Structure 1
Amino acid sequence: MNDKSIKSALRFPLFCGTALAICCANPVLAGEEVLYGDTPSWIDQASLDTSAIDEGPSQLIADWQHWLEDGVVTTYADNAMRIDNPQALMEQGTISLDWLPDKGDLTIHRVEILRGDERIDLIGSGAEFDILRREQGLEQRLLDGQLTATMAVPGLQVGDVLRVTRSVTIDDQALGDEMQVLQFLGSEPWQVGFARAVVSWPADEDVYWRVEDHAGLAAPATENGVSRLEVVLPLAELPEMPNDAPWRFRRNPVLRVGTYSDWQELSRTMAPHFTEAADVAPDSDVVAQARAIMAKTPDPLHRAALATQLVQDEVSYLLNGLDGGNYLPQDAGETWANRYGDCKAKSVLLHALLKEMGIQSQTVLVQTGGGDAIPELLPVPGNFDHMIVRAQIDGQDYWLDGTSAATRLANVGWVPPFYYALPLSAEGSDLVQMSQREQTSPNLVMNVVTDYTAGIDLPALYTLEMEFYGPQGAGFRKLVDEGDEDSLREIAKSFAQGQDGSAVSSVSVDYNEEKALGMLRVTGITSSDFEWKDGRLVLDADLKPDEAFSASRAKPEWRDIPVATNGPLRNHIVGEMILPVGMDGFVFEGPDNIEVRYANTRIVGANTLKGNRFSGAVEVVQQLGEIGADKLPEVKREVRRFASEESRLLAPEDMVWRWQLDRKELDKRSEPILAAYEAAIEFAEEDDYGPLGERAGFLHDIYRFEDALLDLDKLVEEDTSAWVLQWRSNVLHSLGRTESALADLQRAYDLEPDTDVALILGERLAYAGRTDEAIELLESLPVSDEDSAYYAGIYAIGTGLSGDVAGGLAIMSEEVADKPLNETALNYDCWYRGLFDTGLDGALEICTRAIERASNSTPMLDSRAMVHYRMGNFDAAIEDLNRVLELNPGMAASLYMRGIIRMEQGDRAGSDDIATALRMAPELKAQYARHGLTVN
């Protein structure tokens, strides 16, 4: 723990989500000057063994002691730190201590440096703290009146020990005679020489305490009229807890000490501040606002929603912690006049409006994070960090948050995820559970239309419309008002990121004030979701969300820990797919309707295939809560059943692929897609070349190599990378511009000397007739054992192309002998024998072993087909090639080879195979010709 850790260890929450360091609070007589004085008499000062300060952890002392008496809490902190290195010198070289001058004083007792046997008293030598008023949270609208005392430690050196002791008093105006201490208790693996936390008070004070069981703290000891609690730190390391456990199981140990006997007393003593602040004069502006709302509607729920909207929209947020404002609220009239306030001020104003309209309501305290733990905690104000209003209308609770946004009649019934509330009332109240209920209105409605009119093996055009309701939707108001095109482009980037073929053509936003509805509309292009599986193009039509439920309670110590569930949430998603007109035979497999409940989640969905339209809709409703560990087996069975209900859309078996279309037809289908890419390029930021790259990829995929080259030329010029150079090299290679292709590949390798790039370059050099250069490059490469089979295959081909066919065969034979089970080595050996028409005896056995070892057998089947062809087994070769094309219909090399064999057999269909293959990969003609494979 460093000095910052010490401060955080002494924190308790304030309302509205801020925190106050107890160590930085102030005295009974509030003051804005730093005081210097002796250590209080009640302090048990920690001793520092100077003979051992050079050993052990760098933090030598971390001592916290609290004294509670007559409504005043005094907190003493003693910290000694060894400066082990320059970084520690930088971190510890300036002391910063904060306090609130309206609540107490900061008193410095000691600032000293221990250097060997020397003890340097900096305060005694005249060093003083400077005082700064720093509103560090002003940008978050936090004005807490905090003062900071700072000192640049004079003469501090590496090897020194810096020891600082100080005390802070808090006499909180809002608490009166009541007191509280919240002391964080650090656990291992925190390392410290001496650490403890002590809380003490006069034995005749009514003081209560509570701490997590892990601390193992005994009851306070009483001696000489003083009761004392002491915790030796650090505690043992906290037991591991599952991340999905409720917060009460995962919270850190905190020693809570206070003078409230129960929740009712806390409620009762806090209530008068808020009751008084909510009182307004009959002729006040607040009353006028209430009457104006009443004139709009007789419905009390609608009135409550309008009142909440008024407070949210017309009163800006500002935490004003000055003059006791941490717990004391601003008057409702003052809040409306100033048009600003924190959660207390806004809640008081809202309560005043509701009261004037005859709606029963109360201000209530809540904890915004980990609120499920509240019932287990000692009743103290520091357990809460926020305030809202509880309204009761027609027997139902409504939880209204003036600091939130976008409350309307449709969502006024949403229950925030706070678990418990403490109503503040004159008679005192117990905690009230904020019972969850299923939201009747959505957080999100999403509609997406995907247009596959051009073909299901081409990118699809899409239009995505999302409607965000409530606080999430309110964020769109600023986007709309500012009209910031750069923000829209950032949204576009996020949609296109990580998806091949995807680009965003337009983004627009809108905001409906009446409905508090933020709307986002995105148009663009996305890669096809259809995948080739088992001889069919298949689309996973599962529109239900991720059904995984991986909660585990396998560890014995976790067996009784519940699982927390997320919420509240209600999302509605509709997807529609426009399929190619005239392409009949689509089949939908899966349930038409889905309905499932598990782990506080309800999912309802429906799927429909009609004509060339396929649609799916799903609604997901989640509720905040938890499920018992004993329910997990049942929940998981339900989830597995749900997950097993696969939904998929199967394309027609006789579909026509893009490479089977003639140039004119393919260009016609591609026009709308190219127009969308053009719009995406124009919409993108000046230095965003993503859409340009995606268009180049699409042009490549529809075999318009010259057009793709134009885009790649610009990419190389504007956004050079090894990857782009390699890509352009491939296009140039397809166009037969061998020397330019080799130059790009060499440049890519120079930029990024990757072994894979070097192997491609070596093979291309060899096929270009520059075998000496190819061999020289290959022999210069460092090759790992993992890459050796691939390397051997390329080296063998280069050797064979140089004229040493036997030498190439020997290279592969040696590699296979070394790796007899390696599928890559076996495949290259098979391929080499067929390619160079050599070593055919025993070749089929090698090829078959490669196929048997492979997880993806298409390259191996293609290699064996070449061997069959060389051996004159034409039918066997055709059979292997047909199998390849069943597994991978777009494998141009197999199609080309099948065309050659068919032509030799007198089958005219071979010319179609060859024409189609060369449309996809025109470089095949020259490559295969090097091995005597030509078209007659």
Structure 2
Amino acid sequence: MIDQLNLSKLRLAALTSSVCLYAIAAPAFAGEEVLYGEASEWVEPASLEAEAASEGPAALIMDWQHRLEDGVVTSYSDTATRIDNPQALMEHGTISLSWLPDKGDLTIHRVEIQRAGESIDVIGQGAEFDVIRREQGLEQRLLDGQLTATLAVPGLQVGDILRVTHSVTIDDQALGDEMQVLQYLWTEPWQVGFARTIVSWPEDEQIYWRAEDHAALGDPVSKDGEKRIEVTLPLAEMPEMPYDAPSRFKRAPVLRVGTYADWQELSRTMEPHFTKAAQVEPGSEIAAQARAIMAKTDDPLRRAALATQLVQDEVSYLLNGLDGGNYLPQDADLTWEKRYGDCKAKSVLLHALLSEMGIQSQTVLVKSRGGDAIPELLPVPGNFDHMIVRATIDGKDYWLDGTSAATRVSNMAAVPPFYYALPLTAEGNDLVEMTQRDQPSPTMVMSVVSDYSAGIDLPALFTLEMQFYGPQGAGFRKMADEADEDSLRQVAKSFASNNGGGAVSAVSLEYDEEEAVGTLIVTGIANSDFEWKQGRLVVDSDVAPNAAFNANRAKPEWRDIPVATNGPMRNRIIGELILPDDMTGFVYEGAEKLEANYANTRISGLSGLEGNRFSGEVEIIQNLGEIAPDQLPEVKRAVRRYASEESRLVAPEDVVWRWELDRKELDKRVAPIIAEYGKAIEFAEEDDYTPLTARAGFFHDIYRFEDALADVDVLVEKNTSADVLQWRAGILYSLGRADDAIADLQSAYDIEPENWTAMQLAELMAYEGRYDEALELLESLPISDDDSSGYAGTYATVMGLKGDTAAALAALAEETADKPQDADGLNADCWFRGLFNTGLEGALDVCTRAIERANNSAPMLDSRAMVYYRMGNYDAALADLDSALELSPGLSASHYLRGAVRLAMGDKGGRKDIDIALRISPELKARYDLHEVKVD
């Protein structure tokens, strides 16, 4: 890419062009020496008032003056800065001034220190600038040719005023007698004592000027044989713009002055350099390369693609601004010989190859960012920052970029987001709009296959394949060549952390040189996408993207501003779900065909269910462009219509849950998943415990507690935390190892003294008969308002187990009186009464209020069912338990109590509920036996 303008340097010099143009080596120039002398007669010196200098902003003077005369631009800068503190002394203690020696000179007029009313002439005392060649962009292969003069200001102190005045001349070889100045116009809230910019020229020079409306420029003033434009700075603060406004509405104010009457003149002026540089001899290496391409194919499209690929792959990028500057191109022959060049060199070489093959082409100037503003700007070369080639084949324009990558026939018709191009032609050319069209091939294709063969409430085995085409995929070439196990593991770790759990078992990277396609393949295990909603397991179809169009033009001053749309982009997303073979009755609710068109976005897709496979495919095409303000209401309506289209895959009502399967059947189904977890653990980095954590969680979810414990033991040893210790405590308790569980909870509490951990610990202690320890722990806790309901419930349980139900009920009554609308506090009261079979006379009212106020009423329904059970109202208890399990099918306590109720009613089917409950939570038997909930 071409050098960008460095706006931070605009304080010191005119903003001159930075198109990546340069010349071949030449002898040293006189401009390589720093000159010292007086400022030109046309300079209007700024005065520094002593009183004003002692207060206000530290920047006292910022004065930029430019003179255009006889093909030479002289830029004068005068700065005065008060050194208020040591930080300012560090920042301004060394002066750095840059210039291009092949184009002109740097002249120092003054380096002066003002101290206590006296002036110290630093240069007059013998100080001199040192000259260095400054190549800060070398790592980006940028040689800009600048020299930098530096001076560590001797004797500068805090409290001094440092004033520096200098000029830089530019006599650009490429422009001939043409001239240009681009001066950034600072705006508030920038603070300065005095700031201005002046541009002047002799009256007999034909000069043009333009700036943004915000600058409110008047006509030049004529005086003493010259014309001049003067702007007082800073300008008023730029008006706020919506984030999605086209870039031309958000561009910074710049004063542009130049000698080009129109774009045609600019085109004519630049063309000879590029035409000459592209000329090659019949026997040259370039001609031989063209002949070799022509021998491969007769198709001009394929020839153009092969020529572009040759320039992209065989010529490395190097911006060489040495000896000739940014506007002169390197000859095509030299570029091929050296095998490096910038955008100009690459474009000239590509133009030469195409010309040799008889393909019509032109080098064109473009602006890589903010190109939509180009027609509004004054025609000067500095408006552009990049060069590409326009090839015309069968009447169709192809915009070919030698500095890009992976151009092939399949994607070469893509139009880059530059908006406008200026072809360089002998007769002169106007701007050409780079009309957008649908991208000819995808930018990215993502395919995901999720295998739910084991069950839809279990994790899925997945294979994700992402293919990146053209420039987006070019980076995969190096990655694929260098891919080692460590880098692939890093990809896996990042993928797992960004996708909400699961584990990655393998990652591969490939690059197809012929098709310019980079492919990433990831396999592993992902959490189930099926969710329990309204009594059914469903997965929302997310193959189609969410509609997003949030343009806001409510402010009156924004109502005439269009909305910019992103692009060009073309993505395809393919999804497939493999459903269990033994399950039938899945239903797809939604349109099989999707079509949407809004905001320069077009979406089309197909979805359907066939046998045990659900598949969907969608393509999204976005084009660069704008939405006119008067079109916004209709666009928003179109987006809402699209967003209202819902689709989902619904599982049958008689779905078999994992807890309904016996141990043998469940183990058979999950064997492939466990094997994949094993691969993921083996593949992971040594210190990456994500797959091990995922497998431990899976073992826990399928009730293989010993296996879960083995994995969590490793986590405790290698990657311990309060959370891991709490997790192991729960597993140990399920295995009947209460003392070990208490020890782990104590350790967790020691690491992170959270109230919730302490309450769990206190309850386990109480169930083991350690009432006094439990109460001592609870009494030590700092209870906030958010913790009060949990605390009251835990305290009541401890006191109830100790035998003091009156104290327990009193604590709960106090909590519910203090928070009569709190569902958690009401539920704690309801649950205690049912569990301890006490205070039943007022329990139902409390329970019902808890249900009515809950967001998720399943636990509250379970609590009320316990109260009904104690009252002997088995029908009511059963109804509440059915409702609770409809909301939360895996609620083990509700399964257990429902089993007890059914058995009490003489329904032996209750034994199945008991088996399910103990499969999920083996500890329930001992606990409910203690509370005399009979199941035998």
> Which shifted more, 375-384 or 924-933?
924-933
Q: For 2:853 and 2:434, how far apart are their aligned partners in 1?
A: 61
In structure 2, the partner of 1:24 is none
Q: Structure 1 pair 333/793, CA: closer, same or farther in 2 (3 Å)?
A: same
- Report if the CA contact (8 A) 1:29-1:105 is conserved: no
In structure 2, the partner of 1:617 is 617
- What are the Cα deviations for residues 215-252 of structure 1, in whole angstroms up to 9, with x where unaligned? 22222222222222222222222111111111111111
Q: Structure 1 pair 867/144, CA: closer, same or farther in 2 (3 Å)?
A: same
Offset, 1:301 = 1.5
- SS across alignment from 2:465: strand
Q: For 1:778 and 1:385, how far apart are their aligned partners in 2?
A: 70
In structure 2, the partner of 1:474 is 474
In structure 2, the partner of 1:673 is 673
Q: For 1:408 and 1:497, how far apart are their aligned partners in 2?
A: 35
- What are the Cα deviations for residues 868-910 of structure 1, in whole angstroms up to 9, with x where unaligned? 2222222212111111100010111111222222233332222
Q: Does 1:905 align with 2:909?
A: no
Q: Structure 1 pair 729/189, CA: closer, same or farther in 2 (3 Å)?
A: farther
Offset, 1:658 = 0.7
Q: Structure 1 pair 121/686, CA: closer, same or farther in 2 (3 Å)?
A: farther
Q: For 2:723 and 2:34, how far apart are their aligned partners in 1?
A: 63
Q: For 2:21 and 2:757, how far apart are their aligned partners in 1?
A: 55
> Which shifted more, 535-544 or 49-58?
49-58
- SS across alignment from 1:391: strand
Q: Percent identity?
A: 71
Offset, 1:521 = 1.3
- SS across alignment from 1:787: helix
In structure 2, the partner of 1:935 is 935
> Which shifted more, 185-194 or 528-537?
185-194
Q: Does 1:862 align with 2:862?
A: yes
- Report if the CA contact (8 A) 1:17-1:386 is conserved: no
In structure 1, the partner of 2:631 is 631
Residues 132-171 of structure 1: pairs in structure 2 closer than 5 A: 132-171=132-171
- What are the Cα deviations for residues 634-662 of structure 1, in whole angstroms up to 9, with x where unaligned? 11212211122211100010010011111
- Report if the CA contact (8 A) 1:501-1:698 is conserved: no
Q: For 1:548 and 1:17, how far apart are their aligned partners in 2?
A: 41
Q: Does 1:519 align with 2:523?
A: no
Q: For 2:692 and 2:551, how far apart are their aligned partners in 1?
A: 44
Q: For 1:12 and 1:927, how far apart are their aligned partners in 2?
A: 82
Offset, 1:6 = 4.7
- Report if the CA contact (8 A) 2:21-2:342 is conserved: no
> Which shifted more, 804-813 or 428-437?
804-813
Q: For 1:772 and 1:53, how far apart are their aligned partners in 2?
A: 76
Paired amino acid for 1:679: K
- Report if the CA contact (8 A) 1:17-1:385 is conserved: no
Q: CA RMSD in A?
A: 2.2
In structure 2, the partner of 1:457 is 457
The normalised TM-score by structure 2 is 0.95
Pick aligned residue for 2:19 from 15, 20, 23? 15
How many residue pairs get aligned? The number is: 926
In structure 2, the partner of 1:777 is 777
- Report if the CA contact (8 A) 1:9-1:184 is conserved: no
- SS across alignment from 1:475: helix
Gaps of 5+ in 1: 19-27
Q: For 2:179 and 2:897, how far apart are their aligned partners in 1?
A: 88
Q: For 2:842 and 2:663, how far apart are their aligned partners in 1?
A: 44
Paired amino acid for 2:201: W
In structure 2, the partner of 1:407 is 407
Q: For 1:193 and 1:730, how far apart are their aligned partners in 2?
A: 69
Offset, 1:491 = 2.1
Q: For 1:617 and 1:374, how far apart are their aligned partners in 2?
A: 39
In structure 2, the partner of 1:226 is 226
Paired amino acid for 1:192: V
In structure 1, the partner of 2:886 is 886
In structure 2, the partner of 1:306 is 306
- Report if the CA contact (8 A) 2:100-2:146 is conserved: yes
- SS across alignment from 2:198: strand
In structure 2, the partner of 1:284 is 284
- SS across alignment from 2:458: coil
Paired amino acid for 1:296: K
Q: Does 1:564 align with 2:564?
A: yes
Q: Structure 1 pair 153/463, CA: closer, same or farther in 2 (3 Å)?
A: same
Offset, 1:508 = 0.9
Q: For 1:801 and 1:153, how far apart are their aligned partners in 2?
A: 82
In structure 2, the partner of 1:497 is 497
- Report if the CA contact (8 A) 1:12-1:383 is conserved: no
- What are the Cα deviations for residues 520-548 of structure 1, in whole angstroms up to 9, with x where unaligned? 21111111111110000001124111212
- What are the Cα deviations for residues 741-765 of structure 1, in whole angstroms up to 9, with x where unaligned? 2222222233233333333333333
Q: Structure 1 pair 481/46, CA: closer, same or farther in 2 (3 Å)?
A: same
In structure 2, the partner of 1:709 is 709
Paired amino acid for 2:669: R
- What are the Cα deviations for residues 904-926 of structure 1, in whole angstroms up to 9, with x where unaligned? 33322222212211211222233
- What are the Cα deviations for residues 592-647 of structure 1, in whole angstroms up to 9, with x where unaligned? 11122111111111112111011111111111111111111111212211122211
Offset, 1:52 = 4.1
Q: For 1:504 and 1:108, how far apart are their aligned partners in 2?
A: 64
Q: Structure 1 pair 72/17, CA: closer, same or farther in 2 (3 Å)?
A: closer
Q: Does 1:873 align with 2:873?
A: yes
Q: Structure 1 pair 331/877, CA: closer, same or farther in 2 (3 Å)?
A: same
Q: Does 1:487 align with 2:487?
A: yes
In structure 1, the partner of 2:645 is 645
Paired amino acid for 2:243: N
Q: Structure 1 pair 110/769, CA: closer, same or farther in 2 (3 Å)?
A: farther
> Which shifted more, 763-772 or 271-280?
763-772
- What are the Cα deviations for residues 695-743 of structure 1, in whole angstroms up to 9, with x where unaligned? 1111111111111112112222222222222222222222222232222
Paired amino acid for 1:587: V
Q: Structure 1 pair 434/841, CA: closer, same or farther in 2 (3 Å)?
A: same
In structure 1, the partner of 2:440 is 440
Paired amino acid for 2:446: M
Paired amino acid for 1:760: Q
In structure 2, the partner of 1:91 is 91
In structure 2, the partner of 1:25 is none
Offset, 1:141 = 1.1
- SS across alignment from 1:786: helix
Offset, 1:366 = 0.4
Q: Does 1:353 align with 2:353?
A: yes
Paired amino acid for 2:19: F
Q: For 2:571 and 2:591, how far apart are their aligned partners in 1?
A: 21
Q: For 1:215 and 1:51, how far apart are their aligned partners in 2?
A: 30
Paired amino acid for 1:685: E
- What are the Cα deviations for residues 81-127 of structure 1, in whole angstroms up to 9, with x where unaligned? 34444444433343332222222222233334444445444333433
Q: Structure 1 pair 787/399, CA: closer, same or farther in 2 (3 Å)?
A: same
- Report if the CA contact (8 A) 1:459-1:501 is conserved: no
- SS across alignment from 1:80: strand
Gaps of 5+ in 2: 1-5, 23-27
Paired amino acid for 2:517: L
Q: Structure 1 pair 781/41, CA: closer, same or farther in 2 (3 Å)?
A: farther
Paired amino acid for 1:189: P
Q: For 1:367 and 1:355, how far apart are their aligned partners in 2?
A: 24
Q: Structure 1 pair 295/760, CA: closer, same or farther in 2 (3 Å)?
A: same
Q: Structure 1 pair 8/735, CA: closer, same or farther in 2 (3 Å)?
A: farther
Q: Structure 1 pair 666/168, CA: closer, same or farther in 2 (3 Å)?
A: same
Paired amino acid for 1:549: F
Q: Does 1:263 align with 2:263?
A: yes
Offset, 1:406 = 0.8
Q: Structure 1 pair 306/747, CA: closer, same or farther in 2 (3 Å)?
A: same
Offset, 1:423 = 0.3
Offset, 1:5 = 6.2
- Report if the CA contact (8 A) 1:461-1:524 is conserved: yes
- SS across alignment from 1:550: coil
- Report if the CA contact (8 A) 2:21-2:328 is conserved: no
The normalised TM-score by structure 1 is 0.95
Q: Structure 1 pair 90/786, CA: closer, same or farther in 2 (3 Å)?
A: farther
Q: Structure 1 pair 76/29, CA: closer, same or farther in 2 (3 Å)?
A: farther
Q: For 2:121 and 2:501, how far apart are their aligned partners in 1?
A: 69
Offset, 1:158 = 4.2
- Report if the CA contact (8 A) 2:365-2:388 is conserved: yes
> Which shifted more, 900-909 or 169-178?
900-909
